[in-house]
Every structure is written in structure tokens, then in C-alpha cells.
Amino acid sequence: MKKTDVSNYDHYLKVVDCQQACPAHTPVPEYIRLIADKRYSDAYMINWESNVFPGVLGRVCDRPCEPACRRGRVEEEPVAICRLKRVAADYKDDITDRLPKAPEESNGKRIALIGAGPASLTVARDLLPLGYHISLFDRDQQGGGMMRSQIPAFRLPETVLDEEIDYILNMGVESHFGSAITSMHKLLQENYDAIFVGTGAPKGRALNLPGHEAAQPQISIGIDWLANVSFGHNDKAPKRVVVLGGGNTAMDCCRTAKRLGAEEVKVIVRSSYEAMKASPWEKEDAKAEDIDIIVNHNPTEFVVEKGKLKGVLFDQVESFYDRGGNRVLKNTGETLLAECDLVLVAIGQDTSFEWIERDIGLDFNDWDQPCLNESTLQSSIDKVFIGGDAAYGPENIITAVAHGHKAAISIDLFCQGKDPMQRPKSDFNLISQKMGMHEWSYTNIIDHEQRNLVPHISWQEAVKELATEVELGFDEQLALEEAGRCLNCDVHTVFTESTCIECSACEDICPTDCINFIDDIKDDITPPQQLLKGKLKVDKATDEQDYFISDNLQTGNIMVKDEDMCLHCGLCAERCPTGAWDMQKLTLSNIEATIK
Amino acid sequence: MSFAKSRFKHKSLPVNDLGLTYREYEGAISTLCAGCGHDSISAAIVHACHELSIAPHSIAKMSGIGCSSKAPNYFLSNAHGFNSVHGRMPSVTTGANLANKDLTYLAMSGDGDSASIGLGQFAHVVRRQLNMVYMVANNGVYGLTKGQLAATSDKGVRNKTGELSLFNDIDLCTMALQLGASFVARCFSGDKAQLVPIIKAAIAHQGFAYIDIISPCVTFNNHEGSTRSYDYVQEHVTTGAVTDFVPIKEEITSATPEGEFEDICLHDGSIMRIYKLDQDYDTSNRLKAMNDVEEHKQRGEILTGLLYLDPTARNYHELNETTDMPLNQVKQDLLCPGERVLGTINDSFR
């Protein structure tokens, strides 16, 4: 069979499920080990280098790493990675002297960043230490973009946000807050060497149902309403509020309304509870705060009485999936009138490019999104780069950060007159963790404890004040317990064919039956999944990881390891008499360049 | 250093008729040297017992002294066990077997325990046809005492310190054949595809089953010039047939195998299926088996596989016409039927 290619980092990075799943490839196990060692500042810096906003993301990240976590395959629940990130941010010391500084002499290149959200701020952070001059523009009075305007303070305290934005602004950004850019044409005339557009998806979708116009004063677009609350223009909510939509914005709307005095808050969605787009923990928190989530109801009309909104009328629906996998709604015939004083519409948001003239050479596709080179985020005007939600529509903060890294590399190459498609190399290193006969420099004993829950303040307390943070974060003891659950997937089982004597000790000791020694199959073309079916001790349970296939051994047999279930416990290496197995830690250099 | 294996296991592990995965048949984590062949034997026993769906508590692990005899700690934690005096395991097993013939007796011994200090005991337990599986982890050295030559070392080899083996080796398979064992096999610890079915068949066999398992000592006998090293054995191992064990419950037609095969029906109805590699291969001829072992040895080969099987042989209990009920279950009034019965017996002699 075809040997697994381990001449580059691809196979190894994929094995580190969390790091692979993180759009910015944050070295998760590395910082969790530092937390376990109580080295919070070091853990913070590892995070800061790759995801720029550890304190923010430790609270409000979408956590793509957690569903990917290996722990979810070998037991039930993943490691609480996100909340451990917050631990690093909460318990760190002053790290300002560890931050990179802009060189005294500029390199003479001037970059304009439009929008001061996570994508632009990442570009600024990556380019400032290289000597670029950065001009940052935002229509709001403060930086942060959607992190400030759309995420309420009870989930993300302002101090945390300010701190991490200031780390970047203080590196020497020339910022222009409160100044909206209204013409790309004009901007292009100015003397910038490159322009980065990180304007997000700031336009909330409206719901034009009958009665919309008459009820207009009592209908708000969710993200606009949240922004008004955030900037202090709005500090009250009426008694009865209905929120339409089932995403995280809807959850933020309903919980904010509750804190601004609403007594009866209902979230009404078309889908089932499970199909709601909001993160499971957001839904749980909303329910815990006594918010009514009504599912399977499709809005049909804003009911107006005497010129005022009376409520919203819904059809009850059943949703099912047709053969093509599309969701189909079927009315049950029942209707529901939800009486209310305010409707918050949180059914999605879009990018907004009214300010980019369509005759200046910047191409847009059929969906009115700018045409971009996916590898470089370069637009059809070579000095304009677009990232974050503005690039491909609403995603999340960590994706915006990843875009920022990618665009910064492109801009740097472009400004040096190089081709942005020729991405810089990222090297990798594997370092043995062996300390003695059966001693490793990482904790290889598997912790069987279940996931720890993050303590919350009581919901009665929580809803009293908008700025009261609901999650208290892990205390040190819980943090250390949770950190102990990490399986250290970045410590790899590295196999050397030439030293293997085929004694089968590793095969016998492996707790999860990953390792197999089998007769070679003379077929390099058929996919391994097909070839290996029924040939291994236990068939693969998922397709999340690949097989790790060795070269022919002395007898001609091959070693096949199922990377799905490996616990990285190192027992194979402990039982190996010749050191053919070794536990080696993966370190990627230039992680930003690994973002594809 | 790891003192325990994680409890986490593969989610698709098969369960046997008792609803157990093989993990429930494991023992403590081994303290033998990393790469020891004995650990592979332990793993083979675990898989064999699991696949046969034997309740762990119906097994007794018997052993003497030596690395091999430590091994029972590393499999079947929930089975009974007796770690006896050096070389005296056969007597202890005989006693246990007499008291409770319902248990499955798995004995683990070594070349020192069986071919040196315990050779006399070994010879007699073979003669006795005790219903047990007698496994010898044969590595040619005394590993526990740092690698002196054992009686099973080939004449002319040197141990790791250079000591020359001056005397002829004792071949326990040949001895077992000569003394009338009804099941004799030789295996290599590194070949589980061969070892597991043979252990299963040995357990199913109602009589004395001897398995000599070449089990390299990775620390003291894995050097160049050794005839028990992994490299040497892998290069010189040969077999006359591939054997497969088909349990009673499995329908014979379930897996139509390729090639020609021969089935041997065991006492309990299960089947030993044999795919001949050597047309000359025959498990029913004791003299030929002894001959084959010696002939291969002269050619520098190690003959493995099932060497001899007599499924009809009568075991110790049958030969002695013991009661059907295990002695440890016979109640006091049956054991001591009292004066009246004694009187009847005495009368019969008058």
C-alpha cells in the first residue's frame, strides 16, 4: 500500500484535530499544557500570536475546535478549549513588554484598512512590526467592529475588548474613527500601496411581511438594535418583546432585551430547536434566563391595531427533509398570535458594498460579492484585498482573524513586488519527548474525568444589569482539572520502519486498538478505506482521521495505524524495545502561512 | 512510566456472547521488558478466551517461577490463579483439576520451569493426560536471572555473554509426543494469526494440550547468533499447514474458504480446520510428527503449527472413572456415606 507521506506537516497537523479545525491553526494542546503548568502568560502569548484576541475569543468564539476534539470520539464531551483560552487571558500577568513593536523606521509602504473589526486589526498587527504604515478607518467611534457593536457586554466585557484592541492600536496605528469611507474610487486615488477591506456584514436582513410599514416604529433590525444598545443610544426595552430568528444574534437580542427591562421575551423560530443556528450553549443560556423559545413557527404578518403593532402572527409548521436533503415546511393549520410591543428581526445579515463603485475595475460575482482569489484574498484590483465577513459573507471572529493573517501575507508580498500566490514556506519540527526509560516530558497518563462546566452567576443576578458578565470562567482548580483532560494530540506517534522488529508489543498494548501489523496489499490506487475494510483488528469508527501507513517492514508486512482513536498515551513507545515508536511534539513555524 | 492502560476503548470493539469486549479479559499492565514475546502470548490468550466467550471466573491460571510464570498477572484479571513453587505447577494443577474439573486450566510455564527444575513434573503430567492447556514460553535463556543458557537452547549457540551451549537441547514437543500428549503444537509468539486459533483449539480439546511457544527474550537472547531472536525466528520459521478454529455454534458454511482443507472434529463439537501447505502434513501420526520436528531442525528450520492431535484420547478423569460432579461440589453425606455403606463394602471382601 501507499506509505503515508510524512515529509511535510499535512498528516501531522490533521492529527491535531483542534488545531486543524481552528481557522487560524492555533496550537491548542501546546497552550493547554502551559495552562496545566500555570504558565498563563506564556499560554496567552501562544494564543495571541495566532488568534490575536484570546480574551475575546475565550468568551465568544464559535469554537470550531471543540466539535473536532479527539476527546469527543473516545468519550463523550470535548475539552472545554474555549474556556481554557479565557483562563489564559484572565490569569496572565502584564504582557505588554512581550508584544512586538513597530520598528522606528517605516518601510515607506502605506496601507489603508477599511473597517476596524477583527480582520483589519489582524492585518494591522501582522504588518506593523514589519514597518508598514497603517491607516485604519471605521464609521464607529471605537474599534472592534462587530465584536463591539453586536456582542453584548454580558458576554464580552468592554474592558477585555478594549485591552486587546489597544495592544494593536498602541503599536502605532494611525486610526480614523468616526470616518466612514464612502468611495473606493476616491480611496484608490490616495497614495496607498495597498487597501484592505474588512467591513464585515453590517446589513441586517429585514422581513417584509404584511403590516410591516404600519408597524415600522416597533420593528428593529437585531444587529442595529444591539449596536444602539452597545453605543449607549438605547437603554430601554418595552415590556413584551418578540425576537425572530434562531441564530446567535437572536440569542443576544433576547437576552439584552431582558436586561433592558423586558418582562416577557419570546424567541420564535421557523426551525426545530435542534436545527437552530445558535450555538448550543447560547440557546441553553437563553433558556436558563427564562426566555421562551418557541420553535416550528413561521411568521406571516405583523398585526396592526389602531395604527400600532399588536403582535406577530405565525403559522405552525412541521419541517422535514426531502430526498434532496432540502428542508421543506408544511403548515399544520394552527396559527399563533404573539402579542408584543417590539419585534427584533435577527434572520441574517449581508455584506454592504454600496461604497464601491462598479466601474472602477473591481469585479463582483452574481451574488454581488467581490470576486476574490481564495488563496490570497486579492480582488481584481491588485492592490485591494478583502477579508473577514466582507469576503464571503458572515462567518465568525476566528475566521476573520485567519483571513487577516492570509491577507497580511499577501499584502506584504505584493508590496515587495512579489507574487502573492507564491506563499511563504512553513516548516515543521518533531521533537522527541522522551526523558528517560519510560518517562515523557508531557503527561501521558489519560485523565478519565468528564468535562467541567463553567460556573455562571445566577440568572436572577445576571439579568439585572447589562454589563454583568454571565459566565464566571473557570477558577484555577477547575482550569487545571479541565486542562488535564487534553490528550496532547500534538505529541505524535512517530514510526521508524528500519528499527521495527515486529514483536507486536505496541499492537498488544494499545488501549484503543489503533495499531495493526498486516500483510501488505499490492495496490497503490484504491483508497485505503476500501482496501483495509475487514483487515484490521477493529474497523475504523469514523472518517475524521486518515490511516497512518508504514513502508514495508523486514518481513514485508506493513504497519497500519487508525489515527481516529489514538489517545497519544505513548504506551506503544513505552513498550517498543527498539525505539521504533517515539512520541514527538509537532511545532509548526510560521503558522500564519499554513492557513489555506 | 505508565502503570495503567487507559480505560478508554475503541467504540466499535466487538462483544462476545457474554457481552464482554476483549478488554474485560486483560490483566495488569506488564512489567516484563518492552518487546517481550511473553506479552504477545498474554495478548493471544486474552483474545482466544474472549472469542471463545469463556467466563473469566471459570478459568484458572497456573504457573511456576520465571518470567513466563509472572505473565499470568498480565492477562485475565478476573480469573483464578495459582503461582506455585518453581517447577511444581503440574502437581498443583493436578490437585486443582481433581478438585474441580469444571474449570479451564491455562498453565504458563517457561523453559527453566518445565525443562530444567520441573522436567520430572512435566513428564508425569503429560503421562497423566490431565485436561489442561500447558503453554511453555520458550526463549532459550533464563531471563529472570540475567540470561544464562536454558536446557532448550540449541547446541552450539552462545548466549549474550558468550557462554557456549555444550549440550543437546531438550525439545519439549518431542517429549510431549513421546509421552503420549494428545494435542501438541509449536508456535511463534509473533504470529497471532497462528497462535490464537491454536490456543482456542487447545482449550476446546478435552485432554492434555501442549503448546511450545517460541517467545524471544528481547533483553538477553535477541542478539546475532541466537536461534531464538526475532530476526532468526522470523527467517527460519516454517509450517506445514494453516490452522483455523471453528467454534461449535458457527455454521461450517458461513465462510467458504479458498483452497482445500481438512476438518478435525474436536471432543466438544468444534472444528479444527486445516489448510495444508505441505501435502505430506498429517496430524494423526505421532511418530511422523516427532520425525518432522527433528528433520526440520536438522535443516535449520523451526517447524510450527499443530503437530499432533488425537481428539478421541481419554483424559485423566475418564481414565480414572472419577465422578461427573466436581469433587469440590460433592456434599459431606456423599463423601462420607456412613457406617452402613462401609459395612456393605467390608462385607463384599469377606
pLDDT at B251: 55
Residues of A in contact with B216 (CB under 8 A): 503
Q: Residue B253 above 60 pLDDT?
A: no
Q: How far is CA B174 from CA A547, B179, B180, B306, in A?
A: 44, 9, 10, 13
| B-contacting residues in A 442-471 (Cβ below 8 Å) | 444-446, 448
pLDDT band for position B259 (cuts 50, 70, 90): low
Mutate to test the interface with B, among A73, A444, A448, A504 (most CBs of B within 10 A): A504
In terms of pLDDT, which residue wins out, B346 or B262? B346
Out of B9, B12, B35, closest to residue A577 by CB: B35
Q: Are A125 and A202 in contact (CB under 8 A)?
A: no
pLDDT at B53: 96
3-state secondary structure chain B: CCCCCCCCCCCCCCCCCCCCCHHHHECCCCCCCCCCHHHHHHHHHHHHHHHCCCCHHHEEEEECCCHHHHHHHHECCCCEEEECCCCCHHHHHHHHHHHCCCCEEEEEEEHHHHHCCCHHHHHHHHHHCCCEEEEEEECCEEHHHCCEECCCCCCCCECCCCCECCCCCCCHHHHHHHCCCCEEEEEECCCHHHHHHHHHHHHHCCCEEEEEEECCCCCCCCCCCCCCCHHHHHHHEEECEEEEEECCCCCCCCCCCCCCCEEEECCCCCEEEEEECCCCCCCCCHHHHHHHHHHHHHCCCEEEEEEEECCCCCCHHHHHCCCCCCHHHCCHHHHCCCHHHHHHHHHHHC
Cβ atoms within 10 Å of B34's Cβ, excluding its own:
22
Out of A438, A512, A541, closest to residue B2 by CB: A438
Q: Is A552 on the interface with B (CB under 8 A)?
A: no
pLDDT tens-digit profile of B35-56?
A: 999 999 999 999 999 999 999 9
In sequence order, the 6+-apart residues with CB closer than 8 A to the CB of B165 are B149, B153, B154, B155, B156, B157, B158, B159
Residues of B in contact with A541 (CB under 8 A): 10-12
Which residue spans within A119-161 are E strands per DSSP? 133-138
pLDDT at B110: 96
How far is the C-alpha of A270 from the C-alpha of A332, rounded, in Å?
13
pLDDT at B275: 85
Q: Which long-range contacts (CB under 8 A, 24 or more apart) does B153-159 make?
A: B153/B227, B153/B228, B154/B227, B157/B225, B157/B226, B157/B227, B158/B225, B159/B220, B159/B221, B159/B226
Mean pLDDT of B261-266: 86
Cβ contact (<8 Å) for A571 and B5? yes
Q: Residue B254 above 50 pLDDT?
A: no
Cβ contact (<8 Å) for B8 and A448? yes
- In chain B, the residue whose alpha carbon lies closest to the alpha carbon of A442 is B1
Q: Residue B213 above 90 pLDDT?
A: yes
Q: Is A188 on the interface with B (CB under 8 A)?
A: no
Residues of A in contact with B190 (CB under 8 A): 502-504
Q: Are B283 and B166 in contact (CB under 8 A)?
A: no
Interface A:B, Cβ pairs < 8 A = 103
pLDDT tens-digit profile of B68-115?
A: 999 999 999 999 999 999 999 999 999 999 999 999 999 999 999 999
Task: Look over chain B and give the mean of its residue pLDDT values, rounded to a whole number.
Answer: 92
**Min Cα–Cα distance to chain A from B29, Å:** 8
Out of B9, B12, B230, closest to residue A502 by CB: B230
3-state secondary structure A245-276: CCCHHHHHHHHHHHHCCCCEEEEECCCCCCCC
Q: Is A503 on the interface with B (CB under 8 A)?
A: yes
- In chain A, the residue whose alpha carbon lies closest to the alpha carbon of B5 is A511
**Min Cα–Cα distance to chain A from B93, Å:** 28
Q: Is A578 on the interface with B (CB under 8 A)?
A: yes
How far is the C-alpha of B202 from the C-alpha of B185, rounded, in Å?
9
How far is the C-alpha of A317 from the C-alpha of A320, rounded, in Å?
10
Q: Is A499 on the interface with B (CB under 8 A)?
A: no
For residue A56, which of A201, A182, A153, A188 has the smallest C-alpha distance? A153
Mutate to test the interface with A, among B230, B233, B235 (most CBs of A within 10 A): B230
**Min Cα–Cα distance to chain B from A448, Å:** 8
Cβ contact (<8 Å) for B35 and A511? no
Mutate to test the interface with B, among A508, A517, A564 (most CBs of B within 10 A): A508
Distance between alpha carbon A425 and the CA centroid of its chain, in Å?
24
Flag residues of chain A having pLDDT under 50: none
Out of B10, B192, B222, closest to residue A513 by CB: B10
- In chain A, the residue whose alpha carbon lies closest to the alpha carbon of B215 is A503
pLDDT at A543: 87
Side-chain-facing half-sphere of A572: CA atoms under 13 Å: 29
pLDDT at A571: 95
Q: Is A216 on the interface with B (CB under 8 A)?
A: no
Q: Residue B249 above 70 pLDDT?
A: no
Q: Are A118 and A400 in contact (CB under 8 A)?
A: yes
Report ipTM (2 d.p.). Answer: 0.90
Out of B12, B36, B37, closest to residue A538 by CB: B12
How far is the C-alpha of A267 from the C-alpha of A343, rounded, in Å?
10
Helix (H) or strand (E) holding A331: strand A327-339
pLDDT band for position B3 (cuts 50, 70, 90): confident
Q: Is A505 on the interface with B (CB under 8 A)?
A: yes
Q: Nine-digit cell at A360?
A: 472602477
**Min Cα–Cα distance to chain A from B236, Å:** 12
Residues of B in contact with A511 (CB under 8 A): 5-9, 23
Residue A204's region, left for phi above 0, alpha for psi from -120 to 50, else beta, is beta
Residues in chain B whose beta carbon is closer than 8 A to a beta carbon of chain A?
Answer: 1-2, 4-14, 23, 29-30, 33-37, 39-40, 42-43, 189-190, 192, 216, 218-219, 222, 230-231, 234
Q: What backbone torsions phi and psi does residue A73 show, to the nearest 5 degrees? A: -90, -35
Q: Residue B2 above 80 pLDDT?
A: no
Cβ atoms within 10 Å of A15's Cβ, excluding its own:
23
What is the sign of the dihedral through the CA atoms of B257, B258, B263 and B266?
A: negative
Q: Nine-digit cell at B213?
A: 511457544
In sequence order, the 6+-apart residues with CB closer than 8 A to the CB of A148 are A140, A142, A158, A161, A230
Task: Check residue A484 and report its DSSP letter.
Answer: T
